Amino acid sequence: MLALENVEVVYDDVILVLKGLSLEVPKGKIVALLGSNGAGKSTTLKAISGLLHAEEGEVTDGAIKLEGERIDGRAPEDIVRRGVFQVMEGRRVFEDLTVDENIQMGGYTRRDRAGIARDHARMFEYFPRLRERRKELAGYLSGGEQQMLAISRALMARPRLILLDEPSLGLAPLLVREIFGIIARVNREEGTTFLLVEQNANLALGIADYGYIMENGRIVLDGEPDKLRANEDVKEFYLGGGGTTRYRNLKFYKRRKRWL
């Protein structure tokens, strides 16, 4: 469905953030994009959704294709109409609107009133907590409830592809597991494709069909979840399974070559 081919992104005409990045997202699958802070994960999503210009960023090389058609350089609203919707890091709900009004905003580009009403009701099946708070202002919801609302708002657009940026950020572990379970359910029942950016590698690989590891604007490793979990570098730097390095070995440890 989605392919990035040797994409380069530059901010302020001088800062090279993505350095020839390539990845693919098959239709109907969940693909995880993992990496530490500053690796370029959020920039990747903004390049796809057309939101780079708001931050003085630009795709300067390569191509971003949705089902074979280039979308790099298109306006964000055009990309949304093509079925791509980004859920931003930090939720970003409309705090002064109610839960119901936030959900309705997700269907703004649609004209099928009956379908909008059915989907609105279905959001409460996926997220029963939101039904209990449907008349409350979104700004008074907890962080987990706001994340549920942001995902609901995205689903109301009937997207073919959702770009999900750090859904676990700042949430309690139980809520994170609940939200990841719902993502997997939506993928299974609706066939919605997800590109999931996440630092919690354990949870992301638990629901993903394929994963990419990103560092310094490049993909350094990719594969199916089991392959990534078995990789010693992934265990050490992302899964917490590498053990503790002794102080006397620190010099060697710092020079150790990663991603062999």
Any domain includes 89: yes
| Statement: residue 253 has pLDDT above 50 | no
Find the helix packing angle between 99-106 and 113-126, rounded to 10°. Answer: 130
Q: Decide if 260 is inside a domain.
A: no
Predicted pLDDT of residue 110: 81
Chain mean pLDDT for the chain: 89
pLDDT digits (tens, 9 = 90+) for 100-139: 999 999 988 788 989 999 999 999 999 999 999 999 999 9
Partners of 32 in the beta sheet?
Answer: 196, 211
| 21-to-7, 35, 203, 219 alpha-carbon distances in Å | 5, 13, 24, 6
CATH classification of the domain holding 164: 3.40.50.300
Residue 32: both structure tokens together: 């995880």
Q: Would you say residue 122 lies in a domain?
A: yes
Percentage of residues in the chain with pLDDT exceeding 90? 69
- Which candidate, 194, 193, 232, places its Cα nearest to that of 213? 232
- State yes or no: pLDDT of 60 exceeds 80: yes
The answer to the question of residue 230 being in a domain is yes
**Collapsing DSSP states into helix, strand and coil, what is residue 161?**
strand
In a domain, residue 215? The reply is yes
> For residue 208, is it within any domain?
yes
Give domain status of residue 10, yes or no.
yes
Domain extent, residue 159, equals 2-255
Structure-block tokens of residue 95 = 């705090």
Q: How many Cα atoms within 13 Å fall on the side-chain side of residue 206?
A: 17
pLDDT digits (tens, 9 = 90+) for 10-26: 999 999 999 999 999 99
- Supply the DSSP symbol for 56: T
Class of residue 54 by CB neighbours under 10 A (exposed 0-12, middle 13-18, buried 19+)? exposed
- pTM here is 0.88
Answer whether residue 110 is part of any domain: yes
Task: Indicate if the pLDDT at residue 256 is higher than 80.
Answer: no
Q: pLDDT tens-digit profile of 204-252?
A: 999 999 999 999 999 999 999 999 999 888 888 887 665 544 444 444 4
Average pLDDT over residues 84-96: 89
Q: Which residues pair with residue 161 across a beta bridge?
A: 84, 193
The total number of structural domains that make up the chain: 1
